[in-house]
Chains A and B, each alone.
Chain A
């Protein structure tokens, strides 16, 4: 697949443990993104545990100083810092490396890469300052007519801009590569990264319009009123595919790296490409399923988005087969036998990076089923806006995605920093405890949600909560899971710190890269082009969204802002 051998360091006297010259130009800004994401994970995670304890009626907020006693401020921080900033910064760093390694060349524009970092950091600071000064307690969905400080919306604009800049850099790098290799197929790892960026660019247009055209001018006082149903719909236009923006980098690792980490090969490269391309097409025309129970959204479009939501499950089902088959091949090469017993040949207890990703996949499969339930319009009536949904969300993002990112970090950080991974046993403990913590917390949330417990609610002080004794045990499980996650997250950060400031690598490392099992000899050309698929995705999204959006923009009442916190 990859015709050229990996370039070697230019001079022979360079010490073996030095990063190869291929990665050196980009190593520092990639590390900045990854390390910043760790800090954000720590910050956001603390609030998660406080929230989880609230579900069993334990209020630790009262012991915190200043604004920190405010549940909804903490919840805003948890959502924004984890769902938007932690994921965003990690993904920018990781996809940059995937592009560099995939195309075997440094990023096209290093100045742009540093500018991306500067913009992302500025946006992050603006968000943190406004949130922790309690000027933006609007949760991470910032539904108008709740009105935050302009700095909050500006921060969001900057963070979104940073993702676009990273996407642009990836594209420029690919274009330069294509000029040098006009007849070659884009290597899969880079192709997957480019598909992720294409999907995200299309999806984030809704958010960009909501922020730049409506929310920012309104918060600055240039507009007195805001079209709140329209901005809510635009939020979900981006808000649902946001999930795929978190997920695709994890898929990239599962498809193109994990098989090599277990000593296997990628089962089918053509299908891997098809999966990423399908996400470009199908991710965006789905988001109205977040508004199934909203008034003022035409019924037919709700049904259409519901049906499309099932379509976008298809590439994930294909992934389940291909990735498991690739891992199985590795397990068999390691001496695994039998229909099921080959699973035991995998390094569940010795390799934290592999174990973390496998456990992430497991919890992803479990959570996928609850997702099917959420997306059926009628069953959604039972669970909409209950803790059930939060349980589902944590299996997917805190479970599958975050656990995979942690698992990736176990090789990525040693690789980029040139330091030996500290405390392998601790790391193994960490991925298992994160797995169980997520599973236990999600179980508790599902249980409470089925008994109608609302999400985004300070339940300790909700007067009706005491009449629902059936919430009790679910709350206990939620809190227990939350505490386990807290400990596990702490161990993760500790291992990372000890690694970053630890011993130098004894041996140079390489990026794991899976070779295809079947030579994709006659792979059709349409599996190597993104733009036609992007155009198709754009057309589908326009058809699925524009009629509803147009009507909202033209006819729906507007509101002044409210600051109710």
Chain B
């Protein structure tokens, strides 16, 4: 097969760039430990609301500065629709859906997940700055899709750190 000299150079360069990208990708995943949502377990869709944790959606303090938010997505709302957290808290969202596939998006954060019935989405994040965040569904889920929203309110820490 005769390949032109310039063409050969181009082919090697292309391959090199792509291999570099593949390596960078693999490194960022395994080296820097950037993890996408993987498997956080399944729930039986028929009994989700009767069994823990999804029988009682809400915000739970798990330890100092650590929170767990158990949330249910359904057409067309999130429950709880409003979440209050102190700034700096490490939070784990556990979310599932009661009906169809929904999305879970908090703009300007890396919170960007699918919510699938029968599957638990576990999302970790730390909100450092006080303020209010929008939360909305970003997967089509029926005619009311665009009104499906919630709110995350990050409050200034209540207990002053320098108590003594």
* Chain A residues proximal to chain B, CB less than 8 Å: 70, 72, 75, 137, 139, 143, 145-146, 228-229, 232, 267-268, 270-271, 291-299, 302-303, 306-307, 310-311, 313-314, 317-318, 321-322, 325, 372, 376-378, 381-382, 384-386, 451-452, 454-459, 461-464, 467-468, 518, 520-524, 527, 555-559, 562, 564-565
In contact, A303 and B119 (Cβ under 8 angstroms): no
* A75 neighbours in B (Cβ, 8 Å): 140
CA distance A483 to B1 in the complex (A): 49
CA distance A449 to B99 in the complex (A): 27
Contact flags B21-48 to A (C-beta < 8 A → 1, else 0):
1100110110000111111101111000
The listed residue with most A CB atoms (<10 A of its CB), out of B75, B100, B120, is B100
Q: How many residues of B contact A (CB 8 A)?
A: 62
In contact, B14 and A318 (Cβ under 8 angstroms): yes
In contact, A385 and B147 (Cβ under 8 angstroms): no
Question: Taking the nearest CB of chain A, how far is it from the CB of B96, in angstroms?
Answer: 8
CA distance A558 to B119 in the complex (A): 10
Question: Which of A385, A458, A459, A461 has a CB less than 8 Å from the CB of B105?
Answer: A385
Say yes or no: A464-B114 contact (C-beta < 8 A), given A299-B35, A303-B26, A310-B21: no
CA distance A467 to B133 in the complex (A): 10
The listed residue with most B CB atoms (<10 A of its CB), out of A291, A317, A557, A562, is A557
Question: Taking the nearest CB of chain B, how far is it from the CB of A233, in angstroms?
Answer: 11
CA distance A454 to B100 in the complex (A): 18
**Can you report 29 residue pairs joining A to B where beta carbons are below 8 Å apart?**
A72-B143, A143-B100, A145-B99, A228-B116, A229-B118, A268-B2, A268-B3, A270-B1, A291-B114, A294-B114, A295-B114, A295-B119, A295-B122, A299-B35, A299-B39, A302-B36, A313-B18, A314-B15, A317-B14, A318-B10, A321-B7, A321-B10, A322-B7, A377-B25, A377-B36, A382-B110, A386-B138, A522-B2, A557-B42
B146 CB within 8 Å of chain A? yes
In the complex, besides A139-B140, A377-B36, A557-B45, 16 extra interface pairs with C-beta distance below 8 angstroms are A232-B101, A293-B113, A296-B39, A296-B116, A311-B22, A314-B15, A317-B14, A321-B10, A321-B11, A377-B28, A381-B36, A452-B105, A461-B146, A556-B42, A564-B99, A564-B144
* B122 neighbours in A (Cβ, 8 Å): 295
B107 CB within 8 Å of chain A? yes
CA distance A313 to B121 in the complex (A): 31
Contact flags B143-163 to A (C-beta < 8 A → 1, else 0):
111110100000000000000
In contact, B75 and A562 (Cβ under 8 angstroms): yes
B142 CB within 8 Å of chain A? yes
CA distance A146 to B75 in the complex (A): 11
Say yes or no: A295-B25 contact (C-beta < 8 A), given A232-B101, A318-B11, A385-B138: no
Question: Taking the nearest CB of chain B, how far is it from the CB of A71, in angstroms?
Answer: 8
Question: Which of B7, B38, B117, B121 has a CB less than 8 Å from the CB of A325?
Answer: B7
Question: Taking the nearest CB of chain A, how far is it from the CB of B141, in angstroms?
Answer: 7
Which 5 pairs of residues, A with B, have the shortest CB-CB distance?
A564-B142, A557-B118, A452-B107, A454-B138, A317-B14
Question: Taking the nearest CB of chain B, how far is it from the CB of A268, in angstroms?
Answer: 6
Question: Taking the nearest CB of chain A, how far is it from the CB of B3, in angstroms?
Answer: 7
Say yes or no: A298-B38 contact (C-beta < 8 A), given A146-B100, A229-B116: yes
In contact, B36 and A292 (Cβ under 8 angstroms): yes
Contact flags B43-74 to A (C-beta < 8 A → 1, else 0):
11100000000000000000000000000000
Contact flags B106-145 to A (C-beta < 8 A → 1, else 0):
0110101111111111100000000000101111111111
